[in-house]
Structure 1
């Protein structure tokens, strides 16, 4: 009688434990698509904002009132991406997307320097973009990843543009 109870308890324990083990998820494949999805979303968000900044510069209508909300959108998009990417690993294609992001942001915001007199708060706005952009570059948490992005960015971005924007944190994240 005791043997039959022990046997049924043992079968119950084995059945319960095997269901828990069998239902464990395999996250590795999901991470890869998540990184790509996050960076695609970031590019999409930036592609709707950066052209507006370019238009304001080319039409000479850039001022604090028109530029501030757009730069805040850029910062928000970068912060959202860096938060979502935290703890994930970047692959080669993702490094290219980050390099493209650095390029796009620096080129669009570089145009604002020509109208800086019309935007008194530009220094503070650019500082917030620098902080957020450097966090996206730092997201992998390893120098190897940052150096991979560096080799891509140096071919795409004129480093003096990053310097003239005062993007010291981004330059430091890139190892420059």
Structure 2
């Protein structure tokens, strides 16, 4: 069996969403001392803002105080604005972070230039350019990965990163979408 299979598009289901009712919103900025390093979780979220689109908000569903503290410590300390939205009749809150601090952007770019980014982040963002090849047209194809057929890699910090993603995005949506840059689909992807 191959390490991937093509997913066929599911039937479209007509879904009616209720407007979310916000109970309240907290808005704050995390002050931090001079930063000399950035955690894997911080690098993972800040990378998109620095390398792809600095205006894009980082939105993270939160279900527990533990994930909230991790987000505030590892990510919010690198942004200029953080909102935590609470919903009525829901145990979930959503953190919305925007605006990478200039010092954090400089730190990230210095780590990138010096080859000090975590290997996971460096591999996801192999190329810095945000320009998409205009010759790439057509309908995207979805693939399911057969994890059992791949070798297991557990770089430092990955378990903590996966636990955070699992307890936030996967818990909220049952998946997380990651769009690596500079990757070409082929057998060599299994080595990433």
- The TM-score, its normalising length taken from structure 1, stands at 0.25
Higher relative contact order (CA 8 A, sep 6+): 2
Higher helix share: 1
Task: Flag the structure with higher strand content.
Answer: 2
Question: Which structure: larger Rg?
Answer: 1
